[in-house]
Amino acid sequence: YPKVKRNPDFKILDADDLKFFQTFLDNDELIHSSIAEETASFNQDWMKKYRGQSNLILLPKSTEKVSQILKYCNENKLAVVPQGGNTDLVGASVPVFDEIILSLRNMNKIRDFNHVSGTFKCDAGVVMRDAHKFLHDHDHIFPLDLPSRNNCQVGGVVSTNAGGLNLLRYGSLHGNVLGLEVVLPNGEVISNINALRKDNTGYDLKQLFIGAEGTIGVITGVSILAAAKPKALNAIFIGIDSFDTVQNLFLKAKNELSEILSAFEFMDRGSIECTIEYLKDMPFPLKNQHNFYVLIETSGSMKKHDDEKLEAFLSSALETKLISEGNLAKNEEEYNALWTWRKSVPPACNSYGGMYKYDMSLELKDLYSVSEAVTKRLNAAGLIGDAPKPVVKSVGYGHVGDGNIHLNIAVREFTKEIENLLEPFVYEYIASKRGSISAEHGVGFHKKGHLHYSRSDIEIRFMKDIRKHYDPNGILNPYKYV
Ligand code: MLT
Ligand code: ZN
């Protein structure tokens, strides 16, 4: 990273530091290696866009050990990167230089579940898939789902404030997280993990750690409100010819499906073309290709009621030509297959070599326009097409219900020419429409220095003040965020 210099105030790890960590960490809680391949899965991000050079990974099994580690690192000015499942999309969870990686992977216990209140408590390193499975077996669901559910961890998701596929129904983590256990850089532990549903005794401190990307403390435990498991689930995959129609269908779904609507996701033609190549032999659910595709999910407590509602909605949408073609899942297998088409868009785009990725909030009327503007720009520069052109495709998809578009530029290689065409163009475009340059993926290394496109100077000053207050030595996740 030619523009970023290692902060010389940070100590370089030495044999004494290592010896100290070995006094209280077991063999399976510490990896020390200068062989790049042995640490690659911790140093490199999922998109293969960012790579650090850390040779120490600590994987403590308890909050006390996290506290001991941070206290020592703070006193000795050793920089630290907290890491969950390392599925992050903005270079937030890998080191920039030689920061120690603090993996929460070994803190993976479910602590408690109260089936009456729905309060679920777990260690930060619990994989989201396991939280889903546990709650499913207890007639509940985790209030968030993501394509990376098999790898991402609950603490990482909270630290990112990820939104996921069902935010329109279950709301954001700022509402669902009831309490957190957090280790501060000086080793102190703040815990309100036993938090109640309502607690109005002063500042709601936990909110600061939700979406802080490990810059002011390391989340070690999470208490979250699980929702009751829906008894009836429906999914329909729809082909649509214009983004205006996508919006009209969304409005109709809100009005007519109302309380049973649990997802309204869109994908453009390019997203599905990449996914068809990626899923190879999996049969595509529609007969024809369309400009846009929508996946609508309903969930409720009475199948007959939901089916009737959905049927009435679909027949009038077909009659008024809002829908060109659709495929309604008839059973669980088909339901899962339809979701596979949506959840596979990110790995499909990443399968050509790498991708440039943007995640933006815009007013619905402008949501898709950023994708059109970027495609036009890349085409004009002659960068998109068959090899040896570097860009395979630029695609848009996302969460219509949340006004959130993901723009993936699938590439065969990363080049400065592509990057310079994309940035600052994308950010300026979003600022001109008064959108947000990060809807749910966060800031990380990628968007540090670009916050002013969405935040005022005074907001940025407050953020810097908060960071300094919690972490005066700046040891946590340096070179990132703000
Ligand atoms: C999604 O909506 O699929 C997630 O935000 C992940 C992604 O865009 O890669
Ligand atoms: Zn998303």
Instruction: Read off the pLDDT of residues 304-347 as tens digits, 9 standing for 90 and up.
Output: 999 999 999 999 999 999 998 999 999 999 999 999 999 999 99
For residue 375, the tally of other CB atoms under 10 A from its CB is: 20
346 lines ligand 1 (CB under 6 A): yes
pLDDT at 296 over 90: yes
164 C-beta closer than 6 A to ligand 1:
no
pTM over 0.95: yes
Asked if residue 194 has pLDDT above 90, the reply is: no
Ligand in nearest proximity to the CA of 90: 1
Nearest to 110 by CA among 64, 65, 155: 155
Nearest to 143 by CA among 174, 112, 107, 108: 174
Q: Is the pLDDT of residue 232 over 90?
A: yes
Residue nearest to ligand 1 atom 7, measured at CA: 346
* Ligand 1 atom closest to 345 (CA): 3
pLDDT at residue number 195? 77
Q: In angstroms, what is the span from residue 32 Cα to ligand 1's centroid? A: 32
- Residue 116 three-state SS: coil
Cα–ligand 2 centroid distance for 165 (angstroms): 7
Calpha distance 237→339 (Å, rounded)? 9
Distance 399 CA to ligand 2 centre (A): 7
Residue 337, C-beta contacts closer than 8 angstroms, at least 6 positions apart: 282, 285, 329
Q: Is the pLDDT of residue 216 over 80?
A: yes
Calculate mean pLDDT across residues 252-260.
Answer: 98
* Structure-block tokens of residue 90: 């903005």
d(CA 66, CA 317): 54
Which residue in the block uniquely carries the two structure tokens 């190549």? 277
Position in ligand 1 atom list of the atom nearest CA 343: 3
Task: Give the pLDDT confidence of 394-409 residue by residue, as tens digits.
Answer: 999 999 999 999 999 9
Q: Where are the alpha helices (DSSP H) in 116-240?
A: 128-137, 154-160, 167-170, 173-176, 206-209
CB atoms within 10 A of CB 323: 24
Distance between CA atoms of residues 394 and 357, nearest Å: 10
For the CA of 265, the closest atom of ligand 1 is 2
Q: Would you say the CB of residue 442 lies under 6 angstroms from ligand 1? A: no
Q: State whether the beta carbon of 403 lies less than 6 angstroms from ligand 1.
A: no
Are 84 and 104 within 8 A, CB to CB? yes
Identify the bridge partners of residue 416 per DSSP, sorted by sequence position: none
Q: How far is the CA of 163 from the centre of ligand 1 (A)?
A: 9
- Collect all residues with Cβ–Cβ distance below 8 Å to 38 and sequence separation of at least 6: 31
CA of 334 from ligand 1 middle (Å) equals: 22
* Cβ of 149 below 6 Å from ligand 1: no
- As a whole number of angstroms, the distance between CA 232 and CA 306 comes to 7
Where do the domains of the chain lie, and which CATH numbers do they carry?
Answer: 110-228 (3.30.465.10), 232-345 (3.30.70.2190), 353-441 (3.30.70.2740)
Q: How far apart are CA 375 and CA 353, in angstroms?
A: 19
Does the CB atom of residue 147 touch ligand 1 within 6 A?
yes
Q: Mean pLDDT across the stretch 192-210?
A: 92
* CA count, 13 A, side-chain hemisphere, 172: 13
Tell me the mean pLDDT in the region 350-370.
97
Asked whether the ipTM of the predicted complex exceeds the cut of 0.90, the reply is yes
Q: How far is the centre of ligand 1, averaged over its atoms, from the C-alpha of 275 (Å)?
A: 14
Read off the tokens for 125.
Answer: 């390193």
Cα distance between residue 267 and residue 295, in whole Å = 8
Cα(405) to ligand 1 centroid in Å equals 9
pLDDT at residue 210 is higher than 80: yes
As beta bridge partners, residue 177 has 224
> CA distances (Å), 445 to each of 275, 317, 361, 448, in order?
28, 44, 19, 6
Q: What is the position in ligand 1's atom list of the atom closest to the CA of 346?
A: 9
Residues with Cβ < 8 Å from 2, sequence gap 6 or more?
Answer: none
State if residue 406 touches ligand 1 by the CB under 6 angstroms criterion. yes
3-state secondary structure of 435: coil
